[in-house]
Structure formats: structure tokens, C-alpha cells
Amino acid sequence: MKGKVILLFSGGLDTSFCVLYLKEQGYDVITLTMDSGGLSPQELLYIENRSKELGAIKHILFDIKQEVYDKIITKIIKANGLYQGVYPLMCSDRFLFGKYAIELAKKENAIAIAHGCTASGNDQFRIETPIICSTLDIQLITPVKTLGISRDEEIKYLEGHGFTVPKEVKKYTLNENIFGMTISGSEIDDNKEIPEDVWVVSKITKNDPDYVEIVFEKGLPISLNGKTMNPMEILKNLNAIVGSYGYGRDVYIEDETLGIKGRQAFEAPGILLIIKAHKALEKAVLTQEQLCLKNTLDYKWADLAYNKLFAPVLKDIFAFINSTQKMVNGNVKITLCKKSAFVCEISSSNELVDESVATYAQSSTWTGEHVKSFMEFYTLQSKIFYKKNKGDVI
């Protein structure tokens, strides 16, 4: 045998093909499955049994939900991280797939890491980047991508080796994790409206308005509706509560890693509501200059993180973002209605409002004469410009 290979394994067609192909190439295959929040106990059992059935010498399951929150979601919240201003980086858990494959390869003395990604998707880059950038001297094997094999050819290969392949053709491809759900196929690919019954996490079951209240400490949620709880539980509860109003769904056209455009549907009620509340609280506690620069860096951070979550420049950008968060403490109350949510109350001891100095458009500690003098300086350069150019002001 050539040695051990760690195969990132979902139990689906591509990775099932990879087990047999790698065995045929002379490798001992160890399958590795990551639970980032979207796999039921029944699905996990099926994946384990499928690995054994296909002949892997060992199957390993890593529960990475907490690390996805700690290493990724906390940054997304602080950076209001929406790719192209829309998408909450839901597939960023894939970056950890490569990280854990490296750790297991070291433990098992494996000579290679493999995955079943095609040559046309984004996940190949997210998985391979940490592997290629690691100091581990290890091969990277990509059977589906390298062979350019079709799904029909994979089915024929598996059946030719005596293995059954589920025949049902699913209208949609659903991928769930701690963030929520991504949906592809059918009307989405055809640029048509998605039927209401397709939505899963944001299925509408409530119509009467309601409220949620989130408490933030240093930019992160620590309490929901008066109850302190694990931040992952806050996210999970918000997915259920806010999703029941149909909030947090979107279909948009994004720029993919390889330069093509793709139509994407997703449901992420919890993280989108947290970001909405977080941005509102930031507006109350950060200075105008901080907000202006942070808005620019937030957008850039999300744009880069979509493809290169652990790139060195992201650490530099995030250093500024993180430094602003010590002031982002307070309560945000949000009204929920059908397919919408809006911030109705904000309270923070760090809010940059001082009624003893001024109340907007009502009262102040300065006089009209003070403002009149200020206006002389406020309009000075513009007044000189129009005097020199003798043009219309408007």
C-alpha cells in the first residue's frame, strides 16, 4: 500500500467515489466528517456506515460547531461580514475542514489529504488553502477535479464495484450548518421565483408582531430576551424565532471565486438579525470617523474572507475592527413582523448622546449667535470658490 490518506467525507456520490478510487490507487483510506451544525444523528450514522461499507479503514467524526462560532462567526458579527453586502459567509466552515484534515493527517501519519470537490466550485479553494499553506509535507489528492469525471460516470463506477447508489433525483440541493441553509437547483438556477414551500429555516408560521431583545458585550451577543445563554444557543434560538416570520432569506447573484456569477439562495435569520442589531448599536456608540472607516473595512474584510478567510491581510484589517468593539455594549430591541425586522430601541452607557450638551433639533448649550459665527467658517471655502468662478451655487 502507498500509505494512509485522509478523505473529507460527506457520504454523498462524489466522496463515495473517492473512497473506491483511492483504494484502487493503493491507499488506506481514513474518512473524516465534519459536523458544523447541519447533520442529524440519523445522517451521521448513515455516513459512518457508508464509510465502512465502502472499505475505509477508519471513520472519524469531528464536531466543529463551537469552533465555527469561536473562530469565524464572532469575526463575522464584529465585522458585519456580508459578502457583497448580502451573503453572511455561510460556507466559511469549509476553511476549518482543511485545518482539521491537517491535524488528523499528523496524528495518523497520513501521506495525503483528499476531497471530492469539483473544479468549478468555491469550496475547493476554502479547503485547499490551509492545506497548501501549512508546513506539513503532505500530498493533496483531488480525484473528481483531476479526472474531470461526471456524476453519471461516478454512478457507473460505484455500481460496477457492487455498490448501490440512491436513485432519487432531488429537485433542490440543501446544505445546512450552524448559520442556516443554502438552497440551489431548479428555479434558482433558472432565475425564477422560488415557491414558498421550498424555504426551510425561514418558513412562515407567525404573523402577529413580536419583539426580541439582544444584549451585546464587546460586540458579541451574550443575552436573548433577558436570558444569558451560550452564544451558539442565541444563534440557534434566533434562527427559530426570527425564521418563523420569514425573515433572513435572500436570493442574489454573487461573484464566484473563479470569476463567474452564480445565483444563490440562502436562509440565515439568526446571524442576519444579530448583524442588523450590531450595526445599529455601533451607530450609537462609535464616532463618525470610526464608523466611516469601519464600514469600508467591514466590506473589504467580508470580500476577502469569502475566499481567503485566513489570509494575513485579514488579520491586519480585523485588528482595527476588533479595537472598536470594546465600546459596543448595550441592549437592542427589535420588532418582528412578517418578512421584516427593524430596530425600535437602543440603550447603552456608551451611547454618544449627552442631553446636558444638546438634544437633536430641540435644545443645546450654544446660542444662535454661536452657530452664525460657525457658519462663516463652515461655508468659507465654498463661498470663495463661487466668488472666483461666478457660477450658480446649484
The ranges assigned to domains in the chain are: 3-160, 358-389
Give the rounded percent of residues in the chain with a pLDDT score beyond 90. 72
* H runs (alpha helix) in the chain: 13-24, 41-54, 65-67, 74-78, 94-108, 123-133, 143-147, 151-160, 231-243, 269-285, 288-308, 312-324, 368-378, 380-389
Query: What is the predicted pLDDT for the residue at 33?
Result: 97
Check whether 168 has a pLDDT greater than 90: no
Lowest mean pLDDT among 72-76, 354-358, 389-393: 354-358
Position 373 confidence tier, pLDDT thresholds 50, 70, 90: confident
Helix (H, G, I), strand (E, B) or coil at 343: strand
* Neighbouring C-beta atoms of residue 128, cutoff 10 Å: 19
pLDDT surpasses 70 at 361: no
How far is CA 241 from its chain centroid?
Answer: 19
pLDDT on residue 377 = 85
Domain spanning 3-160: CATH superfamily: HUPs (3.40.50.620)
| DSSP output for 280-325 | HHHHHHS-HHHHHHHHHHHHHHHHHHHHHTT-HHHHHHHHHHHHHG
State the DSSP code for 87.
B
Q: For 97-111, what is the mean pLDDT?
A: 95
Report whether pLDDT(63) > 80. yes
If we measure between CA atoms, which residue out of 237, 220, 26, 32 comes closest to residue 115? 32
d(CA 139, CA 227): 48
What are the tens digits of pLDDT across the range 243-270? 999 999 999 899 988 888 988 899 999 9
Please give the average per-residue pLDDT across 326-346, as a whole number: 97
Q: What pLDDT does residue 378 have? A: 87
Q: For residue 18, what pLDDT is reported?
A: 97
- Say which residue, 88 or 189, is predicted with more confidence: 88
Whole-number Cα distances in Å, 285 to 288, 296, 325, 328, 346: 10, 18, 10, 6, 10
pLDDT recorded at residue 144: 95
Q: Name the pTM for this structure.
A: 0.90
pLDDT for the residue numbered 35: 95
C-alpha cell belonging to residue 142: 483531488
Over residues 1-9, mean pLDDT? 93
